[in-house]
Amino acid sequence: MSHYMIHAGGAGFLLVLALNHLAGNDWGTSIMRGCVAALAFAMVARWFMRGVFTELHLSLYEQQVAAQQQPAPEAEAEAGDAPEPGADA
For 29-41, the pLDDT digits (tens) are 999 999 999 999 9
Domain enclosing residue 30, as ranges:
2-69
Q: Tell me if 10 is assigned to some domain.
A: yes
Q: Tell me if 74 is assigned to some domain.
A: no
For the chain, what is the mean pLDDT? 86
Q: Report pLDDT for 64.
A: 92
Tell me the pLDDT band of 1, cut-offs 50, 70 and 90. Answer: confident
Q: Report pLDDT for 89.
A: 53
Residue 42, classified by CB atoms within 10 Å of its CB into exposed (0-12), middle (13-18) or buried (19+), is buried
Average of per-residue pLDDT across 57-84: 77
Q: What percent of the chain has pLDDT over 70?
A: 80
